[in-house]
Structure 1
Amino acid sequence: MKALVLTQKDAPLHYGDVPMPEAAEGEVLVQLHAAALNRRDWWITQGQYPGIVYPIILGSDGAGVADGREVIINPAFNWGDHPAFPSKSFQILGLPHPGTFAEWVSVPARQLYDKPAHLSMEQAAALPLAGLTAYRAVFTKGQLRAGDRVLVTGAGGGVALLAFQLAVAAGAQVWVTSGSDANIERTREMGGQGGANYREAEWSKQLQQQAGGFDLIIDSAAGDGFALLPKICNPGARIVTYGGTLGAVSGLSLQPVFWKQLSILGTTMGNDQEFSEMVQFVTQHRIVPVVDSVFPLSAGQAAFERIGKGGQFGKVVCSQLAG
């Protein structure tokens, strides 16, 4: 079969022939039609994950056909019995388990879920990892309620956009931050209230003027801007963080955290029940993940370069069926 293979750190991905996977006991072979990129995949190519053994087929997100059934893959393996945190054997598909940037993948049968019928294969491939992370952040940790005023930072990334879409569908009023005015306008067209460009010095004040204050903030950036978030929270608000793109937080004052009785909560990925609930919610509300661009699997290196350059709006997807 054809696959996209990482042979060493900082090397271009190689598209070529590799052996077909064999399904172990309890596993099922999936013929993949589409696979979406995550920032995680880019970081692995840069050697920023421990325990990388080369060569490796990356890819956590995939949609395809298994035994005639159209499916998506839950990339969160071995979450374990406790819903609040993963087990020590928890893994994400694509490292070390061979991933979805291939024509076929073998995964445990329990990881397969019916593809939402309203989604194309490319849209469905964009859903699993980002949708699971966003669902847990918004509902499990964020305890979103209809009517809440919500801020989602970094609109443009896959998780942020799905968090935005989930919150809008649940009846919240949602604002965003972005480094692009065009991205803010696009979220307004998708049901958002507006937002602020984080490149502007007064972005937090602009948001406070627009919204008055927030009941829930979903953040993936961290960095210096995180210190401003408690100041624009309503009393009793929740700040949920699932990433640290901009690095360590500095200048954070705890006074507004305890005086306003705020909760700062960390999250990543999610458990099997949350994945099932996420798929049901997406199906019920006919949510369509935003796809930035689609590349043939054979042009996978260009897809990775698109992620590395940044500036995308939505998910970058590789199609195994494209020319």
Structure 2
Amino acid sequence: MSEKNYYVSDVFFKLTFGQNTSESKRLREFLLKNIIPLVPIHDLSVANPELTPQMIRMKNNILDIHMQNNQYEIDMEMQNSKMSVFLNRRFIHYSCRLIDYQLEAGDTSGKLKELIQIVFIRDIDKRCPRLMDDFYAKNTYNISQLGYLQTTIYVYLPYVNKIASEKECLSEFEALIYLMENGNVEGIKYEEKEGMIKMMKKKYNKFIKDKKMVKEVDARYQVQYDFQEWHDVDVEYAKKAGLEEGLLVGKKVGLDRGLEQGLLKGLSEGKLEMAKRQYEMKYHQDGEWLKECTQEQLDYFSQLILTDIESSELKEKIMNLVS
């Protein structure tokens, strides 16, 4: 990672908050009681504490912390990237899968538990800037849907810097978020009633001494960063390429027509390049076969690539769309 702040690594996050140890449980419960204070958490168990080198090397593997008790399922993850429609839909899709996984064949919907999805993200929702926000099903009168199953809570890490600039002394929870976002708590005053900052620093120092683990995290982060960066600029790239091509064509057949044709061509080329990049990053296979796809097939591809699907099945579905 370029900034060398591993506090925002999903690997460090899972190792710190997602294990069945007394320290990990204390840190985890400290986060939860500050984020969802009305939800009973004392009897929560972590369903997926495992973290192997193979899991880290699977670049698209979601290293979340999945907890459950008799009433709730809670899923928590660190997302070291910027908010986008693409990323938000991934969160929504994943939460739907987690709800679906609760039922086995023959089970009724009465067995479903409410899912609370908590996402720590290095971005701010500019529509309504704040440290935390929650989203759930409700109507235009702000009344919750009866029996709603899913709530997503975002913790916008960068916003803590604004809080720190306005408050003389941060709460212990705010200080912990500040530590995650900035990699240190230098220059700020904060409460420390439960020793969470010291505990986090201790975990962090142990983590960075494991050079092999750090190398794995660096490799994982670079692929994730490359993919996010590409996806964020793909539309702008397509528009720019289209306009440049359009200007050249416009000199010959008329500016208006050239811009229109160039924009369409640029969007088409941008869509193809994005599809190839997505395919090769997810499956580590050559994506040249996508050059033979129609625009309709590429549109279908953009939906399938976000799902949990094998490369052979994806390719078969795309190719069968022709017939």
Is the TM-score greater than 0.5?
Answer: no
Larger relative helix fraction: 2
More strand by share: 1
Provide the TM-score with structure 1 as the length reference. Answer: 0.25
Q: TM-score, normalising length from structure 2?
A: 0.25
Larger Rg: 2
